[in-house]
């Protein structure tokens, strides 16, 4: 049952709000790249195969760099990890807009640089930072709120991105993304990573390798990892290719925007409900 005082202290509240804003910016931007394809195809000579490959590389680097930023978070604090991640994210957006941004450079910009940025700014690191502020009986609700914030970014970002693409073009839209990421650099400093969790003592002598071994020896961790594999498989596929699929089937372009927004909208209810239920049942 959720304890009477859900927020333990002001630091926890500040960190929770900052983490929500971080994932709204990071995942909100990431969810919309598929909407850019037709502009990239015309102006950058990007083919559908090249675009899909670049987005796949993005997901790969997102996953590969997650543990690295986890180590940085444990050693130096979450604000440092997220700040570094947003720097890579900003670099990817900048070069994607101003070049070099064609051929292999396109894959480097949107795939590698932004993928590295997502490794620190997407769900995993912000959730881990927030989790350290809450005891076990309210931790899943707190992390559910952060995840729901990411879903809110999924919900609103396709709508305003489509609007700016139609009204101002893709270059100006990327400038807006850059401004959002710069605000994320500032928000990162409001993240606080406590040395000790509220209900347990950390083993400060445990190395990163030992932590990884312990994690993979836990069945729950392995099942959770497989769950994220499934999530990345289908959500990333839809976000990347649904705009092309919609046009190929003769539907209006706004249909893709509606699909992406609805995924985010219903995911908000799903994550909040799951976070709450996890405080009541296993």
Selection from 8, 24, 240 nearest residue 153 by Cα: 24
Count CB atoms within 10 A of the CB of residue 104: 11
Most confidently predicted of 7-16, 150-159, 170-179: 170-179
How does pLDDT run across 184-233, given as a tens digit for each residue?
Answer: 999 999 999 886 655 555 556 777 788 888 888 999 889 888 888 887 77
User: Taking the complete model, does pTM exceed 0.95, yes or no?
Assistant: no
Report in angstroms the alpha-carbon separations of 207 from 62, 210, 213, 262, 276: 22, 5, 10, 42, 33
Count CB atoms within 10 A of the CB of residue 182: 13
- For residue 7, pLDDT over 70 is answered with yes
- Give me the pLDDT at residue 25, please: 96
- For residue 171, pLDDT over 80 is answered with yes
How does pLDDT run across 48-105, given as a tens digit for each residue?
Answer: 999 999 999 999 999 999 999 999 998 899 999 999 999 999 999 999 999 899 999 9
- Give me the pLDDT at residue 8, please: 82
Give me 108's structure tokens: 């480097």
Beta bridge partners of 197: 200
**Three-state SS for 197?**
strand
Give me 99's structure tokens: 């070049």
How does pLDDT run across 103-124, given as a tens digit for each residue?
Answer: 999 999 999 999 999 999 998 8
Indicate the average pLDDT of the chain: 89
Q: Answer whether 74's CB lies under 8 Å from 215's CB.
A: no
């Amino acid at each position: 049952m959720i304890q009477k005082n859900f927020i333990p202290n002001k630091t926890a509240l500040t960190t929770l709000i900052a983490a929500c804003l971080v994932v709204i910016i990071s995942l909100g931007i990431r969810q919309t790249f598929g909407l850019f394809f037709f502009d990239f195809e015309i102006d950058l000579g990007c083919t559908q195969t090249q675009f899909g490959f670049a987005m796949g590389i993005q997901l790969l680097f997102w996953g590969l760099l997650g543990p690295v930023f986890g180590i940085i978070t444990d050693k130096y604090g979450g604000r440092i990890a997220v700040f570094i991640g947003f720097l890579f994210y900003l670099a990817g957006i900048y070069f994607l807009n101003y070049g070099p941004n064609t051929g292999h450079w396109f894959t480097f910009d949107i795939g590698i640089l932004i993928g590295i940025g997502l490794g620190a700014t997407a769900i995993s690191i912000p959730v881990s930072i927030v989790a350290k502020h809450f005891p076990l009986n309210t931790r899943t609700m707190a992390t559910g709120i952060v995840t729901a914030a990411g879903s809110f970014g999924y919900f609103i970002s396709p709508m305003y991105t489509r609007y700016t693409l139609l009204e101002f073009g893709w270059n100006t839209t990327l400038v807006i993304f850059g401004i959002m990421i710069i605000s994320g650099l500032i928000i990162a400093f409001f993240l606080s990573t406590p040395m000790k969790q509220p209900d347990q003592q950390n083993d400060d002598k445990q190395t990163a390798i030992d932590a990884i071994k312990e994690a993979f020896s836990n069945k729950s961790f392995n099942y959770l990892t497989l769950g994220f594999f499934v999530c990345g498989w289908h959500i990333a596929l839809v976000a990347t290719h649904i705009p092309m699929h919609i046009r190929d089937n003769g539907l209006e372009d706004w249909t893709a925007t509606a699909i992406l927004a609805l995924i985010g909208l219903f995911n908000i209810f799903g994550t909040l409900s799951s976070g709450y239920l996890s405080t009541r049942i296993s």
